[in-house]
Amino acid sequence: MHGATREVFLSLLILVGLALSCAGRVPRGWLTSRDRTVETCSEHGSDTASLTYLGSGGFLLERDDDAILTAPFFTNPGIGRVVFGLPLRPDVKRIRAGVDAYLQGVEAVDAILAGHSHYDHLLDIPYILEEQVREGTIYGNQTMLHLLAPAVPPDRMEAVNDRACQWIPIGDHGQVMPLESGHAAHFLGIKLFKGKLTEDRKRLPRSAYGWKEGQSYAFLIDLGRDFRVHYQDAASRPPQGFPPDTASGRRVDVAIVTVASFSQTKRYPDEIIKKLNPRHVVLGHWEDFFRDPTKPPKVVRGTKLKNFVKRLEAVLSDDASWTLPKPGVILEFNVCRAGTPPQ
């Protein structure tokens, strides 16, 4: 069977499977719907860092004058449009609504991070960079540069393929370390949109199949010397996404993990949580991204959130906690003093 035909055939299998598994409801009491302060240690100064959930893999991290954005996505095309390869275009109305709700006033950031190059991470980027976030470099894989070449100036993009496990200075006091990672299958053990590009495209992809994954990355993020975040935008197989031992001596303050497709790989998020030993875990990419983002969120179809939390809590340290944020929620963290015990 020809490669393209095979991918369409597999897509139809996924469509049938997902159609039979509706988006699920969040268990009562689990969803954090309002802004909150997270206490992670018994002693801390007045310094704080904040994290805003934008939906899907999108987050805004801020501390003092440093700001890092992870690829926001608001278009949320329907599953039929994605699987049948129908034309995908940024939904300007939905993007503008998301920007107005969550990114109002954010015109410049120090970096935008994209862990891989699927449509649900890059489709909205050209519009957001041109119309809203007019300053800031987007870091991602080489495939991302080739995909976005028709729409994003080259001086606003940087590939990290040759910089894995190396610190990249960001802003006045920040730094990020790309970590080679992976991407779980989507459903029924089938993984779509695989592959990479080696040349610039002349135009943006017409359908979801054109947004190839490329090499996936996780990111270790330092906002100052005393606040560390680990970010993943796709579930992965251990030890993918693990930081090197040279960076593992310091406890991670916040680990952002991905719920979507976690059941398609073994020991996620178990092993990454044991490796990072985070003070707090934030669940991301958990809601159905085929659903109108203005409607109340539901758990991404084909995903058993209770099983994810069971895996997480089985390995989470007794002094740690977790949050399932609704899009738009701002979490504020009191930065721990060096050497202070946990809360």
Q: Where are the domains of the chain?
A: 3-336
pTM over 0.85: yes
> pLDDT digit string (tens) for 213-238?
999 999 999 999 889 999 999 999 99
* pLDDT value at residue 16: 56
CA 77 – CA 56 distance, rounded (Å): 13
Cβ atoms of 332 and 50 closer than 8 Å: yes
Partners of 285 in the β-ladder = none
Q: In whole angstroms, what is the distance from residue 140 CA to residue 183 CA?
A: 14
* Predicted pLDDT at 341: 44
User: Residue 295: which residues within 8 A CB-CB, separation 6 or more?
Assistant: none
- Quote the pLDDT of residue 254: 97
**Do 108 and 135 meet the contact criterion of CB atoms below 8 Å apart?**
yes
Contact 26, 305 (CB under 8 A): yes
pLDDT tens sequence across 168-184: 999 989 999 999 999 99
The CA distance from 6 to 57, in Å, is 28
- pLDDT for residue 340: 47
Long-range contact set of residues 76-83: C-beta below 8 Å, sequence gap at least 24: 76/289, 76/290, 76/291, 76/292, 76/293, 77/208, 77/290, 78/290, 79/15, 79/18, 79/19, 79/290, 79/301, 80/15, 82/119, 82/207, 82/208, 82/290, 83/11, 83/12, 83/14, 83/15, 83/208
The backbone torsions φ and ψ at residue 201, rounded to the nearest 5 degrees and listed phi first, read: -80, 155
Task: Show the tokens assigned to 157.
Answer: 């993009």
Query: According to the model, what pLDDT value does residue 18 have?
Result: 56
For tokens 């943006």, the residue is 204
Q: What is the pLDDT of residue 85?
A: 87
**pLDDT score, position 342:** 42
**Model pLDDT, residue 40:** 82
Say which CATH superfamily domain 3-336 falls into.
Ribonuclease Z/Hydroxyacylglutathione hydrolase-like (3.60.15.10)
CA pseudo-torsion sign 256, 135, 153, 91? positive
Collect the ranges in the chain with pLDDT lower than 70: 1-23, 45, 248, 338-343
